[in-house]
């Protein structure tokens, strides 16, 4: 079973999103879609209503770092 993740686990979420969606540039993802992607991750165990713009932005930036690393 996957480790439980929460909205504050931006780096872990970024890693998982990069693994699940390797061909998506995170900077093109709307926050409504990002919210959906995060809440559907294996191990997500937080209240979907507890997200906010700053948490989603932190996740998007963490995912973007993983995306850039994967691009070489």
Q: Where are the domains of the chain?
A: 10-71
Q: Has residue 55 got a pLDDT over 90?
A: yes
pLDDT category of residue 2 using cuts at 50, 70 and 90: low
Q: What is the 3-state secondary structure (H, E, C) of the chain?
A: CCCCECCCCHHHHHHHHHHHCCCCCHHHCCHHHHHHHHHCCCCECCCHHHCCHHHHHHHHHHHHHHHHHHHC
Q: How much of the chain is helix, strand and coil, in % rounded to 5?
A: 60, 5, 35
* CATH architecture for segment(s) 10-71: Orthogonal Bundle (1.10)
Would you state the pLDDT for residue 34? Answer: 98
Q: What is the mean pLDDT of the chain?
A: 96
Q: Mean pLDDT throughout 42-59?
A: 97
């Amino acid at each position: 079973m996957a480790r439980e993740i929460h909205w504050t686990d931006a780096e872990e979420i970024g890693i998982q999103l990069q693994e699940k969606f390797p061909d998506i540039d995170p900077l093109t993802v709307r926050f409504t879609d990002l919210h959906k992607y995060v809440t559907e991750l294996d191990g997500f165990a937080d209240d979907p209503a507890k997200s906010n713009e700053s948490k989603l932005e932190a996740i998007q930036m963490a995912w973007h770092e993983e995306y850039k690393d994967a691009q070489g």
